Amino acid sequence: MRHRKRTAKLGRKSEHRNAMLANLVCSLIKHKRVTTTLPKAKAARSVAEKIVTLGKSGTLHDRRLAAARLHQEDAVKTLFTDIAPTFKSRPGGYTRIIRLDQRRGDSAQRAILEWVEEFAPAEPEEKKKPEPAEAEKK
């Protein structure tokens, strides 16, 4: 019986599932945002949260554990130098899932997996132009 077993199988063998989730988290680290299906996003969120927790301590052992899980050294380097230090004071909840519409081909529920507002790409702010009345006074 599978009581209290919460692993999302995603219709794949364990090796394929682990490799897919590792690649998804590496893409999240590199691109800061990933669009995928909702079950994959929920499964990848768990992996991403655990990897960021490893990155927050920053020891050599944690770096090796992250490299063993992700299999991409450049993603591990970005994680430990850029992403994890920004979440140093945050106790958890580093990612968010935004639901999208259904995919046209198979009606799968799509979602965006991204970092929370501290590390999300900044929105461009509107630049204020000087008011014409002030320019005429000078």
Q: Domains in the chain, please, with CATH?
A: 14-118 (3.90.1030.10)
Divide the 138 residues of the chain into consecutive groups of 10 and give the mean pLDDT of each group.
90 96 97 96 96 94 97 96 93 95 95 81 56 62
What is d(CA 55, CA 84) in angstroms, rounded to the nearest whole number?
5
pLDDT of residue 118: 62
Q: In sequence order, which ranges of the chain are alpha helices (DSSP H)?
A: 14-31, 38-57, 60-70, 73-78, 84-86, 132-137
Its pTM stands at: 0.81
With contact defined as beta carbons under 8 Å apart, do 56 and 88 qualify?
yes
